[in-house]
Structures are given as C-alpha cells and as structure tokens.
Structure 1
C-alpha cells in the first residue's frame, strides 16, 4: 500500500498564530493532571525506577473535575533506557560487573510538561502541521531537536539535546487514559467511557540528519503525531489562544495549571466577577503531591496562587482560612482577574470567533465540518490573508473565500 502524502487543511491553517507570545489551550486535555510531580520532602526522584522481573511502578490513578463533570485519569509510566549510574562507581573501584544501560520506568513530570508546551507553540508556526494517515485524519508535525532547544532558551529553560530527546520519548511512551464517571465499586466493572487512551505523541520518529552540523544540535530531524484528543480539538476548532509568555514565566506547575483553569473559567471577558476556588480543589485537580505536613501543602498552594498576582494575571487573591484550633486546615481563595488578563481573554475570544467564521467561509456552511477541510497551497495563503485582515478589522464580517478549481 502506497504512503499517503501529507496535506494541509483549513483547520491547520487556523491553528497557526503569528504572535509568538500566544499559545493554544486544549481545555480538557490541558486541565487533566497528566504529569507526576515529586514532593521535595520525600526521597523519590524523577529518574524512574529500575525494572526487574519482580517489580514495576504502579500506574498513577487520579480523579478530577472539569466543567462540573467528574473524570478518572490513569497515567502509565514510560519504559526507557538510561546509563547505569552504578557503572561510574564500579569504574572508580576498578570493577565492571553492571550493565552499561538499564531499563527504567518513569512518569512524565515537569520537564516533560514544559517540553510539550514548547512543541505546541512550535506547532502554531506557519505550515508546521500537515495531515497524514490513510484517512488523512492524523495531525503530524516536523521539527528538529535544536528548534526545541532554541525555543526553551528563549523562554529561560535550558535542556540538553539528550534531555529533550528523552522527554519526547517519555511523552511518546507514557500512556494516558481519561474516562468519564466515578470509579467502579470493588468487584464491579466501571460503566465509564474512555475519552482518550493514548500517549501524548502516539507516533514519534527521530532520525539522523548527517547534512546538519552536530555542534548546532541539529543532528536529529523529528516528526510526531498528536494524539486523537488533540487532533479532534484542532479539527473542531476547540482550542483557545492564551498567553504562552505567562505560561513560561510561571515557575510552578501548579501556577500554570491555575492559569489554564482561569482561562477556562473566563470564556469571555463579559463576566469579570472573582472566582472562588479552594486549596483542596487545586490540590486534587492539578495533580500536585501533598506534603507530609498539611501546612506545607497549603503553603505551596498559596505560593502558586500568589505567583499569579505577581505576574499581573490577578489583581488580588483574598484568602479565607478555616482553622482547627490554631492550625490552618483549609483555605478558600477569592481570585480577582486583572484587566490585562481579561484583555487576553477578549483577544482569545476574538480569534476563536474569527476562526469559526473563516471555516464557514471556506465550506459555505455554518455547521461544524465533518472532518478536516483540505486546502491547496494557494487556498491556504488566501485563508491566512483573509483571517489576518478580519482580525485587524475587528468585528467586520468575513469576505467569501473562493475555492480554486
């Protein structure tokens, strides 16, 4: 069977953004606590564990809520090869009994969270995405590891090419299962439905490029496919522009989750009333680890909230404490969004509205397309130009987009 050549589509063009300070939020996927963060007050490391015949790492199982609905999440670790740290000790002692490479199991953590966000930002560059697969329904992206490294540097994150390659591998091998409904009772089968059972990148290929200089870090050319949930969100235009600059400035993964949560809460800037959220809700839905002492956990949550005030995302974050004796047992936060954040919301809503109108101009229908709408090169350029003009013009109605014969 011959390979189907990659093609473009209207939705892929509309996923692009010229403003590199922006990124796209894919609501359920980005709010799900898919990453496993390690507490600083325990002995666990984010280096995985050695795999033997008699042991393995158990999957992480979590519950979270999204837009008033309950979901279950299972994260299965990736299995990768790593250099055996015992080899250094043996070489120092003059013995060499251990293998040079060992298999470890490891969950995606903060490093992988940042790398995936950078990949998503690169995916928004012009002509970066294409459709592939027999039915032309899979979204593929090509890039180099050096591009990721360069983008990480630009947002004050530094990783080696080897670390970037490993992060991508972990994202491609760690399986994510998102289901609806409550957990099943013991001995009974769950009635929930799987929304996603895949990895972040179901297909990942890294191959050598001898024509590129090794010292530039560009010796690998990478392509990957996004998982079905992300591909469907792109196809259905269910993505929302948010501030990539803010995401990269926020140091805590809990702060990044909370920024995403705020972006979902304020679908438009018409309602600027403060949002009330509890520390326990943040802990549960963000996937953060709980410290052995409750006060330490609450302190981390409060620091994550206050970071949004420091970055100008929130005007204020009032705190209401619930105490047991003198001990703080719970905190409710009253979050007041800033004018700058609400302007970001308006900008995102304007892009979303323009995208819907643009796809309607291409298809001649106001209904949601049944699939990706293929475009020829000339049509893609025309669509970019017309959308840019419409965004500049604000709320002016779009001009009809003539299809080329």
Structure 2
C-alpha cells in the first residue's frame, strides 16, 4: 500500500507570518485592475454592474503596465442567484422569495474579502497541497472567521454577504495576457498568463456540530488560482502592511500603496520621490472615470492625499496642466516616509530569508521545479530556523540604522 503524499511544503510554511499586521503582496496579480468599481454618478444602485438573465453584460477589457511591460486584462462577470424584488405581500405565506439570476463583477467588497482570505492564509498550517501533482494550493476556513477578521479591521459584512462575495470571486473569470490589444482583424501575438477565477474551486457547507450567531458555522474550502499558487511556489511574494491596506478607505489608495511598495523596493537609504500622473493612476488602477474630468481628478487627488494622511508619504507635490482655467491633468511627485521605507526593507529581508531557507533545504541555489514536501517534524524545525534568521536580520538592520554618538 502506498503512503499518502505529503500535503504540506516548505514554500507553504515560508508563506506563513506570525505578525498579523502584515500581508503578502503578489505583485502582478495584486497590481492588475481586476475589480470593477461603481462611480457616484453611476445609476446602478447595487455593488458592481448587474443585469437580469434576460439581458447581457459585456466583459470589462483593460490595458495596464507593470514593470515596463504592457498587459491586457479581461474580467468576465459572475452569474449568481439573488432574491427578487418581489413584495412580501405578493408571496404565499411562509414562501421564500423568488430568485432571479444576475450577472455581477467583483467590486470593492470582493477586493476586501479576498484580502482578508489572503491574510488568513498566512496563519500557521492553514495551507495544504492538493491535486494529482500536488501543485495546487488549498485552504480551509469558516465564514465566521472571515466575518471576525473583517470586524477587527473595521469592515462589517453579514455571513450572507461574505458567502456571496466568495461566490462572485469563484465565478468571475480573469484573463491576463501580455502585449497590447491586437489591431482589428488581426490575431494577438501575446500569451495568456492567467485564465481562471480568483478561487477556481470553492465549496461551502454547514457544520451542525458547531454553532454561531447565525445558527451554524460554515466550513469553507477553496483553491487559489494558478498565478497565486505559482507565486507561492517560487517565493515571489513579500510582506506589506495589512494594517495600512485595511485603513485606506479608497480602492485607488490601496492600489497606489501596492504600486509604491514595488516602486520603492530598490530604495536603500533615502526616500526617492516617485513620479506618477493622474492618467497613469486612472488607467492602471481600474477606477471609473466620472462624467466630468474635474471630478475624476478630484478622486485621484483624494486617494493620493490619503497616503499622506496615513503616514505612508511625507508629501505629495502636484503639478497642474490647465486648458484655460480648467485643470486638464495632474502630475504627482510622491515622497515616501521613513516608516514606509522601513516596511519595504522589512519585506525585502523576509523575502531574502525565505529564499535562503529554501536553498538550505534543497541543497543548491537552483529554483525548485515544484513544491518541496516536508514532514511535520521538519516543518517545526523550518519555522524555528526562519524565525531565528529573521530576528538576527532585524537586529542587524536596527544596528545599521542607529545614529553614531558624537565624540
């Protein structure tokens, strides 16, 4: 009889972080404008764009740049059932409301829920491997855990809303391709980097043995998409501030924080200002444009200023381009704060420590072809050694940054 293949791997353990104020940034995936936000002057009264089963909603197609390369993004809406707007008086006594099939894009609510799921994924022994080749990353948790974590970061959602958000993330398809959009009548020469949903596999079931305020705990099982799984396998992730992400109220501010975390990753000692235009933020963040240009620019500026208010930036200088008296464009010069740069350096230290820890396991500097299985006893040893390395690296960094005493 063959033994069961190990369900854990060194990379899954290295994805863990005990500091709950941190989250992991998966650069390309987290910078892609995968969410559809509703602007104030949009007539849609609900989250995302919704139509009934008798209508058809077109996919959202966007272009964005990342590290000097151009990418194309297609977001296809999820199809879900929702209670109809039928009045209670029109239903038979005790009858549940009729359901109507709608199409909806993932929006800000889903963005926050996915971020919380990723934060929970960093808890000890939360992740495991599945699939015939043990190359798929899965996670188990309860809906109540999501709700409790949302409350902890001042985001309140009902269990029903959380369930629906996860369903939308599991059904809305994402396609990320390289290269600009092809010319009409010509084939694209790019290739698809991702054609999947945020959670390709999602199962939600009640556990009658446990009870919460809603009458039962929902045990949720999901699987991360191939781009996220590959990033975990290749250690292409690094810590950023989860606390900052959850404090920022605007999705544009959250995108800009992620962007700055990448832009400033090479900054060693001094805060070098980052130049970025309002149009670049609009295009690459996926934000909606208002009917009036000045309203769109006002929202972008508010998102930038929020980073100053939170201490992520020391300042944000603005240069205006006007057509007559009207502001037509804004260029920003963003100066990162010392606190933000410390966060960036910490992320770099953790990533380097993870890479060194994996090298010690495989015995060479070559990147493994797949996940490196570990036994339970070896997992405990790996956690212990990594924690010691991180502590030593943090102490060394603190000594380097200490000012010299005047003689």
TM-score (norm 1): 0.93
Contact 2:308 2:314 in 1 (8 A): yes
Q: How does 1:86-235 map to 2 (within 5 A)?
A: 86-88=86-88, 90=90, 100-215=98-213, 218-235=216-233
DSSP-derived class of the 1:192 partner: coil
CA contact (8 A) 1:390 1:396 kept: no
Structure 1 residue 189 displacement after superposition: 1.3
Shift of 1:262: 0.1
Report the Cα offset of residue 88 of structure 1: 4.0
SS in 1 for 2:266: coil
Deviation at 1:27, TM superposition (A): 0.2
* Offset of residue 106 of structure 1: 0.2
Q: Any idea what the Cα deviations from partners look like across 1:207-249, whole Å, max 9, x if unmatched?
A: 1100011426652100100000000000000001000000000
1:401 aligned residue:
none
Q: Which residue of 2 aligns with 1:8?
A: 8
Aligned to 1:69: 69
CA distance in 1, matches of 2:373, 2:276: 43
Task: Provide the C-alpha distance between the structure 1 equivalents of 2:169 and 2:291, rounded to a whole number of angstroms.
Answer: 29
How many Å separate the matches in 2 of 1:222 and 1:4? Answer: 23
Asked if the contact 1:144–1:218 (Cα under 8 Å) also holds between the matched residues in 2, the reply is no
How far apart are the structure 1 equivalents of 2:15 and 2:121? 8
> In the alignment, is residue 284 of structure 1 matched against residue 283 of structure 2?
yes
SS at match of 1:307: helix
Q: Deviations over 1:363-394 (max 9, x none)?
A: 11111111100000000000000000011111
- Distance in structure 1 (CA, Å) of the matches to 2:3 and 2:305: 52
Contact 2:322 2:328 in 1 (8 A): yes
Report the CA distance between 1:87 and its aligned residue.
3.7
Give the superposition deviation at 1:303: 0.2
Q: CA deviation at 1:99?
A: 6.9
In the alignment, does 2:47 pair up with 1:46? yes
Check conservation: 1:178, 1:195, Cα contact below 8 A: yes
Is 1:317 equivalent to 2:316 in the alignment?
yes
Residue 401 of structure 2 is matched in structure 1 by: none
The range that moved more, 8-17 or 213-222, is 213-222
CA distance in 2, matches of 1:100, 1:6: 46
**Which residue of 1 is the match for residue 402 of structure 2?**
none
Taking the aligned partners of 1:166 and 1:306, their CA distance within structure 2 comes to 32
In 2, Cα distance between the equivalents of 1:202 and 1:3? Answer: 28
Structure 1 window deviating more from structure 2 (209-218 vs 99-108): it is: 209-218
How far apart, in 1, do the equivalents of 2:316 and 2:332 lie?
A: 6
Root mean square deviation of aligned Cα: 2.2
Corresponding residue SS for 2:360: helix
Matches within 5 A, 1:270-309: 270=268, 272-309=271-308
Mapping of 1:229-378 within 5 angstroms? 229-270=227-268, 272-378=271-377
SS in 1 for 2:239: strand
Q: The residue matched to 1:267 in structure 2 has which SS?
A: helix
- Structure 1 residue 48: Cα displacement: 4.4
- Per mean C-alpha deviation after superposition, the further-off stretch among 348-357 and 3-12 is 3-12
Quick check: 2:37–2:48 contact (8 Å CA) kept in 1?
no
Do the aligned partners of 2:75 and 2:173 also contact (CA within 8 Å) in 1? Answer: yes
CA contact (8 A) 1:179 1:192 kept: yes
Q: CA deviation at 1:185?
A: 1.0
1:403 matched to which residue of 2? none
Provide the residue aligned with 1:37 in structure 2.
37
Per mean C-alpha deviation after superposition, the further-off stretch among 181-190 and 209-218 is 209-218
Does structure 2 retain, via aligned residues, the 8 Å contact 1:316–1:336?
Answer: yes
